[in-house]
Structure 1
Amino acid sequence: MKLSYVTDSLGHLPFEAMLDRVAQMGVTAVEMTTGGWSGAPHLRMNELLESAEKRNAFLGALESRGIELCALNVSGNPLDPGALGAKHRDDTERTLELAEALGVKKIIMMSGLPPACAEDRVPNWISYTVSWPPVLKDYLNYQWNDVAIPYWHKLVDKAGGCGVEKIALENFSSMLVYNPETLFRLRDAVGPLVGLNLDPSHLFWMGADPIAAARALGPAIHHVHGKDSRLERGLVDINGVMETKEVTDTVARAWNYVAVGCGHDLQWWREFFSVVRMLGYDGHVSLEMEDLTMSVDAGIRTSIDALKQTISQ
């Protein structure tokens, strides 16, 4: 496996300065955002789609530093019923076209989350039993069968036509696909081009074991994010993990995203990567640095050091 870097946490730096920083850290691949939730600080998608000259300059800046573009990331909610969803669907379509133009074979994104019925105006994450109220079962069927699966059939067809070989869905909360079981529901419906971007940080706080999840996924592991989270002692014990606090309120939250090694020790990470490699995944592991308990620089240094010590080469 190879270490990669999701570049948004260096969004304050211009494109080439960001690449210089990545190279200085000894990282040889980047995963770059194109839109969706991200403002795509290092990539102007319209310019790259319209100009071969700008694409060549973009790729040349990477190549001159020995950095590979391992994936494009367009994480967002393409199933939102409003203007946001329309924008994210457009970002996704153009990201597939850009992948073809740049020769990128892997797309990182999220499954999206629809509303619970055609009359709803907002997405609805149904994450409780559908036994009560019983209408939740109808809502969940609507989300899957009327919205998500038809959309994903069309998107997979377009992705294949653009030469994309893998779409890796992050197992993120408030999405229809948030764990292996929901990934397989979509994958069984639309085909193996869709797999999981296995991100341990989300599984930790949901109460799952990412190592067991990796064993269940096997060849459905399409990508891995190197990202940790920590259940906060004395807080999670009182109210559990479900909360509505701002992500910046780190002191009061029951759990936080943290630098790699600050939630789970390096022995855990060595076992995780060993199992993932044993199961056949030998692709990139992208550091997504979202630790708000320390400075960006400290979080990057801590995580890079931990990942270099634990990734199975």
Structure 2
Amino acid sequence: MKLALCTDVLANLPYAEMLDRVKSYGINGVEMTAGGWSPCPHVKTDELLASAEKLSAFRQELEKREMTLVALNCSGNPLAPGELGEKHTLSSYKTVELAGKLGVKKIVMMSGLPGGCAEDTIPNWITSTVSWPDYMPEVLRYQWDDVAIPWWKKFVQHAKQHGIEKIAIEEFPSQLVYNPSTLLKLRNAVDEIIGINLDPSHLIAIGADPIAAARKLEGAVFHVHGKDARIERGLVEIDGLLETQPVTETKSRTWNYVAVGCGQDLQWWKAFFSVLRMTGYDGYVSLEMEDLTMSVEAGLQTSVDALNASISR
């Protein structure tokens, strides 16, 4: 395995300076956002698609540093009703086109989340047991059969036409794919070009075990995010894991995203990567630093040190 960095954490730096900073950590791989929710600080997708000269200059900055663009990220909600879904669908299609021009074979996305019916205007995430009230089974049928599966079948064809070999979907709360079983449901219904971007933090935050998930997902792990979460003792025992407070309210939340090693210890991380390697994954691990309890620099260095000490090389 090799270490990469999700570069949005260095959004304050211009493109070339960002690459130099990444190199200073001994990292030669980058995952950069090209669409979705991100402001895409380092990838101006429309400009790069429109200008062969700018596209060439973009590539040259990577090449002269001997760095690899391991994936383009377009995490958003293309299945949302109305304007948001249309915007994120368009950026997803453009990300694929840009990946094709750059020779990038893998994109990282989220599944999206539809509304609860054709008339709904906001996404609707069903998390309650489907027993009562009895409207939920039809909501789930609509979301999967009428919206998600048709959208993804069409999108996969577009991706293949542009040379994409892997679509790594991050399992994320408030998305239709949020755990291994929902990922496999989409993969089985659409195409094996779809796999998972296995982000341990999101499974930890819902009480799942990423190591067990890695075993279940053998052959379907296309990408891995190095990102940790901490269940906050003294709070989770009272309110449980369902958390709606903003991520900035770190002191009162029942769980938080933290630097790698500040949630699970290094022995856990070594076991996680060992099982991933044992089940066939030997690709990039992209550090995604979203710890709001410390400075960006401290979070990056803490995470780089922990990942260097634990990934299976």
Give the residue type in structure 2 aligned to 1:179. N
CA distance in 1, matches of 2:239, 2:205: 13
Gaps of 5+ in 2: none
CA distance in 1, matches of 2:303, 2:53: 36
Q: Kindly report which structure 2 residues correspond to 1:236-247, keeping only aligned pairs within 5 A, or say none.
A: 236-247=236-247
How many pairs align? Answer: 313
Give the residue type in structure 2 aligned to 1:201. S
CA distance in 2, matches of 1:50, 1:102: 13
Q: Kindly report which structure 2 residues correspond to 1:65-80, keeping only aligned pairs within 5 A, or say none.
A: 65-80=65-80
| Equivalent position SS for 2:292 | coil
User: Cα RMSD between the aligned structures?
Assistant: 0.6
Give the residue type in structure 2 aligned to 1:200. P
Give the residue type in structure 1 aligned to 2:80. D
Give the residue type in structure 1 aligned to 2:228. D
Q: Kindly report which structure 2 residues correspond to 1:50-199, keeping only aligned pairs within 5 A, or say none.
A: 50-199=50-199
For residues 140-188 of structure 1, the C-alpha deviation after alignment (integer angstroms, 9 at most, x for no partner) is 0000000000000000111111100000000100000011100011000
Q: Sequence identity, in percent? A: 63
Q: Which moved more, 1:295-304 or 1:237-246?
A: 237-246
1:37 aligned partner: 37
CA distance in 2, matches of 1:86, 1:175: 16
CA distance in 2, matches of 1:37, 1:286: 18
CA distance in 2, matches of 1:211, 1:243: 23
| Equivalent position SS for 1:183 | helix
**Does the 8 Å contact 2:100/2:164 carry over to 1?**
yes
For residues 192-245 of structure 1, the C-alpha deviation after alignment (integer angstroms, 9 at most, x for no partner) is 100000000000011111000000000100100000000011111110111211
Give the residue type in structure 1 aligned to 2:110. M
1:310 aligned partner: 310
CA distance in 2, matches of 1:243, 1:7: 27
Structure 1 stretches of at least 4 aligned residues deviating more than 3 Å after TM superposition? none
Give the residue type in structure 1 aligned to 2:113. L
CA distance in 1, matches of 2:210, 2:239: 23
CA distance in 2, matches of 1:92, 1:153: 14
CA distance in 2, matches of 1:75, 1:215: 25
| Equivalent position SS for 1:215 | helix
CA distance in 1, matches of 2:139, 2:64: 51
CA distance in 2, matches of 1:240, 1:172: 18
For residues 73-109 of structure 1, the C-alpha deviation after alignment (integer angstroms, 9 at most, x for no partner) is 0000000112111110010000000011000000000
For residues 106-137 of structure 1, the C-alpha deviation after alignment (integer angstroms, 9 at most, x for no partner) is 00000000001011100000011111111100
Q: Which moved more, 1:253-262 or 1:274-283?
A: 274-283
Give 1:52 deviation, angstroms.
Answer: 1.5
Give 1:35 deviation, angstroms.
Answer: 1.6
**Does the 8 Å contact 2:10/2:18 carry over to 1?**
yes
CA distance in 2, matches of 1:241, 1:175: 17
Scaled by the length of structure 2, the TM-score of the pair is 0.99
CA distance in 1, matches of 2:281, 2:64: 28
CA distance in 1, matches of 2:244, 2:307: 30
| Equivalent position SS for 1:97 | helix
1:217 aligned partner: 217
Give 1:266 deviation, angstroms.
Answer: 0.5
Give the residue type in structure 1 aligned to 2:159. A
Give the residue type in structure 2 aligned to 1:183. L
For residues 47-92 of structure 1, the C-alpha deviation after alignment (integer angstroms, 9 at most, x for no partner) is 1111121111111101111210000000000001121111100100
1:250 aligned partner: 250
